[in-house]
């Protein structure tokens, strides 16, 4: 009599699932450590993990096919409903675990893609010199004001000068309004 194919495939799925669990744990460690960056190991692990998950899904489909065959010919295979239920539970539990790993991969990849998309304009500015000198100065001034104030606006008083929405009002001096960062830079470079 032939060996029940379910158990042969189930054993392969079980081994593949254990291997995939190890890959998944390593993949999580790499993604936690990299914070969105990539390395050769992270790329290799991601590829292997995706391939393993896909392979397990195909094996689960094969297992479902064996159950369907048995259900159509119960007398030929002499497998009772309790055993069929146990087999379905194994398939469902394995499929749920595979799905949770795939979902985690998708979420982390989606977040990484969103982070890369958000950083790209900043990287473009760095790569092409940050735009015109006027734009570079404006970005520098706005960033310094935000960093210095801890916010993007508001009013602060410094002696007779008032910092309001990133501008320094030099009242009584007859000078134009200039940014606080520009004033700080000017004071550092003047005698």
* Coil vs helix vs strand at 185: helix
Tens digit of each residue's pLDDT (9 = 90 or more) over 180-190: 444 444 444 45
Give the predicted TM-score (pTM) of the model. Answer: 0.56
Whether pLDDT at 21 is above 90:
yes
Q: Can you tell me the mean pLDDT for 71-85?
A: 87
Instruction: Output the pLDDT for position 87.
Output: 95
The residue ranges of every structural domain in the chain are 5-127, 133-189
Tens digit of each residue's pLDDT (9 = 90 or more) over 99-111: 999 999 888 766 6
Tell me which of 132 and 87 has the higher pLDDT: 87
The hierarchical CATH code for the domain 5-127 is 1.20.58.90
Instruction: Output the pLDDT for position 10.
Output: 93
Rounded Cα gap, residues 56 and 53, in angstroms: 5
Distances from the Cα of 17 to the Cα of 45, 59, 91, angstroms: 15, 11, 12
Instruction: Output the pLDDT for position 156.
Output: 46
């Amino acid at each position: 009599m032939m060996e029940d194919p379910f158990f042969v495939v189930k054993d392969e799925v079980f081994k593949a699932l254990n291997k995939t669990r190890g890959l998944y744990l390593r993949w999580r460690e790499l993604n936690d450590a990299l914070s969105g960056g990539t390395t050769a190991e992270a790329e290799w692990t991601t590829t292997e993990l995706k391939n393993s998950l896909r392979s397990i899904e195909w094996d689960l489909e094969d297992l479902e096919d064996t159950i369907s065959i048995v259900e159509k010919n119960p007398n030929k295979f002499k497998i009772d409903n309790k055993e069929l239920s146990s087999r379905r539970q194994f398939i469902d539990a394995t499929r749920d675990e595979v799905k949770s790993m795939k979902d985690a991969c998708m979420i982390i990849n989606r977040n990484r893609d969103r982070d890369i998309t958000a950083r790209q304009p900043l990287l473009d500015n760095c790569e092409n010199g940050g735009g015109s000198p006027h734009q570079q100065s404006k970005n520098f001034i706005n960033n310094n004001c935000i960093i210095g104030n801890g916010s993007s606006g508001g009013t602060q008083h410094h002696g007779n000068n008032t910092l309001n929405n990133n501008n320094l009002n030099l009242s009584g001096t007859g000078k134009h309004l200039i940014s606080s960062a520009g004033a700080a830079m000017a004071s550092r470079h003047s005698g």
